[in-house]
Structure 1
Amino acid sequence: MNAKCILNEWKQQYEKNIEYDAQESGPDHEKCFRVNVYVDGALYGTGIGSRKKEAQQRAAISAVQQLGINTDFIAFTRKMNGIEADPKSQLNEKLQERHIKNFKYTEISRTGPAHEPTFTVQLFINDIACAIGTGNSMQNADRSAARQILKQFDEGSLSFSDISDQDSNDENSHAIPKDAKCILNDWVQSRRKSISYQQADRYGPDHALRFEVDLYIGGKMISSGFGTSLQRAELDAANKAVKQISKEFMDCYPKTNFPRYVHLPHYDELAMITHKTFESVTHNVIVSIDKESVVASVIMENCLTGQKTVLSLGSGNVFVDEESLDNNGETVIDSHAEIIAKRGFQRVLYKEVCRLKKEGKDTLGMLKVLPNKRIALQNGIKLHLYISKAPCGDGSVFTLSQPGSHTDTGIIHLPIQSDKKQGLLRAKIAKGEGAIPVSELPDDRLHKMSCSDKICKWNVLGLQGALLSSVIDRPLFLSSVVVGDVYNFNHLSRALCCRVKRQSPYISSETSAVTVNHPDIARSTICDLPEIGKSKPVSVNWNIVDGSTEVTNGRTGKVSPDLYLKSPPPDSCIYSRLCKKELFCLYKTMTSRQPNYEICYQRLRDSHIVIDRHINYHEAKLSSKQYQRRKTDLYRTFIEKGYGMWEEREDVDEFSL
């Protein structure tokens, strides 16, 4: 039973009023629908999709979850009351589960007197006549036909392979959505290949013409399709091509261990393994994510062996709409590539720390346990951040309009500070492009700090964040930041670290508890240059521990199951594994297993916070006192240097598990 049906059943059972309010936006060729579902006038769910029905379904899913509706109980109640579920709805659900959208009920006769007619309909699935139904109305005749098909499915006399228009000889074949041409076009564009359909044959009498079409990708014939029209033949060829491509990639992907590119400079090698890994792990994704999006990664380098390993990947350059923001920790608020890669890295840390404390070793050879029972990086391990485009905010806003070196690299930073606007904290605005100074932010728009500011924060507080600081001995700093497009050494030097270091009474001292990390800043010539255009909401994340690729809609901050070539990973759910709730769950797991629990408990007890299942996310972050002190000093430094006040929303952290 789909979510709309569940909601309707619940409405009838409890006599509620449910309304769907749809809003349409975007050009004709790229419509976007936003649907709000109201229960007795109160908003309970929002859904976004390229079709109105899709958006309604997602809104209904959200409402069912918010209302806590027990779907098993609804089905049980129907059964006890002797109410038969609508056979047409049941059949529609079964067909949709297999991505079969080509089915229709056709009236073939109407007999009897006008006051007592009898209707007869024929049910066609994929143009195959499957059942005939009769009834005293068209609706009842449709139900009769659907009931017959459901009975045949239950008895085993009919299977989906009998009505599928796909080649069912392959036992691993799967139903392909009817928009396979769109899927294929996006896949081809993302890999910069050409695609063409060529009519190979036309035969048969005029009343029963048949067409044959050959599909070419990159000049190579991939498949042939057949149908009663050119469009159907092309669709058949696209279906076969998608199935073939999917099978080929499932056989050889994902691949994440690449040979060293010894012929490349160090920073170009970091970029190369990022893009190779990214291409490898996104084989199951429909959208052309690298056409306009930014790609970022956190890379581990073993200086003893020279091996470089991508730990986490992210793509995207949007963040959540205010209507989709919630306070339960289930929404990924910022889907810019750098932030996604960093959160993926934190997920790797959580899992590796848990494994290290449980088994005495981690799988990546990255971490070690110190004599004080806290965690640190192994000797010889370095961390690098690669971004295909300069981070938004202070690191990129002046690159094209102000002088500076576009080729210099290295550890000796030469920051430019020739304009009073340089160094200012900036924020990106919901549904807007670019980043503006925090002092100019409108009161009515959701905003998040720019990526330049966040990377600057990481160079003071570390990549591990507040929660992991409870077990990690010292901040995990980046050894280098490598940027592709829109690179300027002098502006990046200022934006990513040097604006904090200069003449700060809180941070300039070598003996201060808070230090400023100055990573190598370098340019890579190996990058996919983003095209100029409005940002797309698609965001992809992958990390080496989970292994699977996850796709989210940056505007909603939730997983988008419709953006996978075959199907989402089996462990995926509606909210992302990178949301605060998921990471908080990992934190709870980590703290419950740590051998040094007594010390941690004592430290938290001294700060009047106790680790238990009732502690909320915000309180857990506050429990890391040293991290919070360094953060307070950093924010005070920004204010004293005239850069502005760091903007944070603590209300989104006030949730418990």
Structure 2
Amino acid sequence: MSSRGADIKENQNLDQVFSKQADANGGAGGRKRPLEEGSNNRRSHPHGYKPKTRKKAPGLVAPKNALMQLNEIKPGLQYGLRSQSGPVHAPVFVMSVEVNGQLFEGSGPTKKKAKLNAAEKALRSFVQFPNASEAHAAMGGTPSVLTDFTSDRADFSHVLFNAFETSAPADDPFYSPADSGFSFEPDPPQFSFPPRPSALAGAPASPRHPKNPVMILNELRPGLKYHFLSESGQSHAKNFVVSLTVEARTFQGSGRNKRLAKARAAQAALSAMFHLQLDQEPSRRPVTREGLQLHLPPQVLADTVSRLVIEKFSELTDDLTSPHARRKVLAGVVMTTGPGVKEARVICVSTGTKCIGGDHTSDGGLALNDCHAEVVARRAAIRFLYSQLELRLSGDADERRTSVFTESEDGRGLRLKGDVQFHLYVSTSPCGDARIFSPHEVGVDDEGGGRPGRTARGQLRTKMASGEGTVPVGCSDGGVEGQRLLAMSCSDKMARWNVLGFQGSLMTFFTPPLYFSSVVAGSLYHAEHLSRAMYRRISAVEPLGAFVLNRPLLSGISNAEARQPGKAPHFSVNWTAGDEGLEVVDATTGKDELGRPSRLCQRQLYRRWSRLHCGLSSVLRIGTGTPSSYHEAKQAAVEYQRAKQAVFMAFLRAGLGAWRKKPPGQEHFAPFP
């Protein structure tokens, strides 16, 4: 073979080797020594031969993290190490950076994470956006869907900066790589040491403690052992429970991973034994209720209520393997009967996001018009209360004592036992005024084509027949895609419950109004918006007898619920303490899957009330006769009706709209056919 032929053969062999190496390394970019521009000449590749170049497969461009963003805006910034503290196995680094003449500090378990934290604070100091979409566009992010604050299908994206792959969310001190995708909060939660009244009177407050709860507890009580108790839920919504014992007292914590559950258990121990409180940003702090009798921090109560409801739902759906475990919104009511939560009991759970259409309404009270989870939970709670009233009619003295009701002092009615309280959990802020403005502040009004601004806050809103979103009461029925508006939003209904009680008009024949002691939102919790929706917008309502404006404890949970994937199902489920299993209701018809009336429909509840009225009238010396129809029974609750009109007038006087009333023909039915 000639020398020229050998050169050609050798070059071809080299090309094949480089091509194989490129394939192994993901394309042409894998060459150790890529060909330089212009090297494709006759000597290297005679006869016009050109090696094939493999294009790199297109892929998603990862969003830039805070360090990268800040470096583009302010190149050449210098980061310095300010301090290093903590034990060797859990160090805490503090890094600083100067931007626009202002010094920003960030902390983290590594210098890299501390730099990222400092960069985030620097960016937030001068980068502001009117809404989430503009923030994503400006910072290089691409939200997967458009955010709709009125829809049950809304996906709220909290991610403004893309963190390092191994960086931890600020609200998760025990982050694992499986939890990637959660964002940093503007102000990372930290523990603060409250001053003791006797020893620190007049002294300045202690500085924030940058350590996580497990680190703090380990310094206070070294050598503590954590025990894994249980694991539940599907892969996208796992829930782990961990316990720990401190000085013969046991504390539990739950979370989406074991590390987070461990942190929650440590938080509970610190709160109960050392009075260390979690310092949160203002919009996330619980709104406390005056006179709440539970002797434990609000956050511990909220987390416990959430955990109990989720665990009960998991139990009822065979650890979420049942087809009826699909849900967008979960609600439940927890009853406590003492100063703590050891005797806490779930009395009902429900799911649902829909309202029935106008074609399926029933004039005989046989259909559930509103199948939103919190509305169904309230009906299930009423059913539970009826069962407790029925215990008062039992001939067995022991059974009578198990009832949550006892005779009032004047002997003319019943009242709750002194330590009984009810707590409502909803996996997301209720639709309407509480949800539409959360979690972002938006300054664009309706006329500008954007989302509602400050002028629309507090307005009464109605649901649509499909259950997808709410609109102000001033909108005409035909103005919203031709769909008939049916019911008031959940925010509006819950505001009404905070004056009239959640027990309904009929039960006021037997008891004074019953109020929720706390309302816990699993996600989209915003203290200002939720408190306004629940009671502040009608603060001018006038008390009428036993009916007053209730101000429940409002709180989010430490580990916000993840969005449930998939489309909202067209069914609603409910369960009340004493039931063998779930009842499944077709949310488009308001009846069960076989077309039968639900056990929570008006007719069924009215039947139980009628029996109770006959049995308790003589015992409680109720002066009214037996009503002949559901409408007549409701109107006979005179004080309740007056208080209801006072609520409607409070909304009107505040300029928030007129309450939409049901057609009167839907209530003229007897308890028995």
TM-score by length of 1: 0.52
1:575 matched to which residue of 2? Answer: 597
Q: Deviation of residue 308 (structure 1)?
A: 0.7
Q: What whole-Å deviation, never above 9, does each CA across 1:3-60 have from its counterpart, x for those lacking one? A: xxxxxxxxxxxxxxxxxxxxxxxxxxxxxxxxxxxxxxxxxxxxxxxxxxxxxxxxxx
The aligned amino acid for 1:483 is A
Is residue 2:494 matched to residue 1:458?
A: no
Distance 2:617 2:320 in 1: 41
- Mapped to 1, the partners of 2:268 and 2:576 lie a distance apart of 24
Do residues 402 (structure 1) and 416 (structure 2) align?
A: no
Contact persistence 2:314–2:320 (CA under 8 A) = no
1:629 aligns with 2:642: yes
Distance 1:595 1:329, change over 3 A: closer
Query: Equivalent residue for 1:556?
Result: 589
Once residues 550 and 494 of structure 2 are traced to their aligned partners in structure 1, the CA distance between those partners, rounded to angstroms, is 11
Match 2:331 to one of 293, 296, 304: 296
Aligned match of 1:594 in 607, 616, 634?
A: 616
Partner of 2:446: none
8 Å contact 1:513–1:630 — kept in the other structure?
A: no
What's the offset of the Cα at 1:535?
2.7
Q: In the alignment, does 2:488 pair up with 1:488?
A: no
> Cα distance, 1:529 vs. partner?
2.6
Matching residue within 531, 555, 563 for 1:522: 555
Contact 2:330 2:352 in 1 (8 A): yes
Counterparts of 2:525 and 2:459 in 1: how far apart (Å)?
19
- C-alpha contact 1:352 1:363 (8 A) present in aligned 2: no
- Are the structure 2 counterparts of residues 301 and 403 from structure 1 closer, same or farther at C-alpha, using a change threshold of 3 Å? farther
What is the one-letter code of the residue matched to 2:612?
A: M
The equivalent residue for 1:269 is 304
Matched residue, 1:536: 569
3-state SS of the aligned residue for 2:422? strand
Distance 1:308 1:489, change over 3 A: same
Answer yes or no: is the 8 Å Cα contact 1:292–1:530 preserved in 2: no
The CA deviation string for residues 45-99 of structure 1, in whole angstroms up to 9 with x for no partner, is: xxxxxxxxxxxxxxxxxxxxxxxxxxxxxxxxxxxxxxxxxxxxxxxxxxxxxxx
Residue 336 of structure 1 pairs with residue 372 of structure 2: yes
**1:524, CA displacement in angstroms?**
1.0
Q: What code does the residue aligned with 2:530 have?
A: L
> CA–CA distance in 2 between the matches of 1:279 and 1:344?
18
Report the equivalent of 1:146. Answer: none
**Counterpart position of 1:655:** 669
The Cα shift of 1:373 comes to: 3.4
Question: Residue 286 of structure 1: CA displacement?
Answer: 7.3
Distance 2:560 2:596 in 1: 32
Matches within 5 A, 1:34-45: none
Q: Label 1:516 to 1:478 Cα distance change in 2 as closer, same or farther (>3 A).
A: same
Contact 1:398 1:491 in 2 (8 A): yes
2: CA distance, partners of 1:363 / 1:402: 50
Shift of 1:435: 0.7
Tell me the distance in 2 between the aligned counterparts of 1:558 and 1:402. Answer: 39
Secondary structure at the counterpart of residue 614 of structure 2: helix
**Shift in alpha-carbon separation, 1:364–1:543, aligned structure 2, 3 A:** farther
CA contact (8 A) 1:492 1:521 kept: yes
Structure 2, unmatched stretches of 5+, are: 1-231, 237-264, 270-298, 444-451
Question: Which has more radius of gyration?
Answer: 2
In the alignment, which residue of structure 1 is the partner of 2:510?
471
Within 2, Cα distance between the matches of 1:432 and 1:630? 28
Q: For residues 518 and 418 of structure 1, do their structure 2 counterparts lie closer, same or farther at Cα, with a shift above 3 Å needed?
A: farther
1:214 is matched with which residue? none
Aligned residue type for 1:433:
E
1:322 Cα deviation after fit: 1.7
Q: Partners in 2 of 1:403 and 1:303 — Cα distance?
A: 42
- Aligned residue for 1:376, secondary structure, equals strand
Matched, 1:280 2:315: yes
Identify which of 228, 231, 234 aligns with 1:192: 234
The number of equivalent residue pairs is 365
How much has 1:637 moved relative to structure 2?
1.0
Counterpart in the other structure of 2:352: 316
Deviation of 1:292 (Å) = 4.1
Query: Does the aligned pair in 2 maintain the 1:290–1:530 contact within 8 Å?
Result: no
Cα–Cα, structure 1 residues 275 and 632, in superposed 2: closer, same or farther, change >3 Å?
same
Q: Which of 519, 537, 546 pairs up with 1:499?
A: 537
Distance 1:284 1:328 in 2: 37
SS at match of 1:469: helix
- What is the DSSP-based 3-state SS (H/G/I as helix, E as strand, rest coil) of the residue aligned with 1:621? helix
Q: Tell me the equivalent position of 1:249.
A: none
Q: Flag the 1:191–1:266 CA change in 2: closer, same or farther, 3 A.
A: closer
Q: Which amino acid aligns with 1:295?
A: L
Offset, 1:362: 4.4
Tell me by how many angstroms 1:283 deviates. Answer: 2.9
Classify 1:432/1:269 alpha carbon distance in 2 versus 1 (closer, same or farther; 3 Å): closer
RMSD: 2.8
Whether 1:440 aligns to 2:475 is yes
Contact 1:373 1:596 in 2 (8 A): no
Counterpart residue type for residue 588 of structure 2: R
1:265 deviates by: 2.0
Identity %: 29
What is the TM-score of this pair, normalised by structure 2? 0.51
CA-CA distance at 1:355 after TM superposition = 1.5
Of residues 636, 639, 646, the one that matches 2:652 is: 639
- Which is richer in strand? 1
Which residue does 2:386 correspond to in 1?
A: 350
Residues 310-363 of structure 1: CA deviation (Å, up to 9, x unaligned) = 111111111112222111111011111101111001001112102113345547
Find the aligned partners of 1:654 and 1:285 in 2 and give their Cα distance: 40
Contact 1:591 1:597 (8 Å CA) reproduced: no
- 2:425 is the alignment partner of 1:392: no
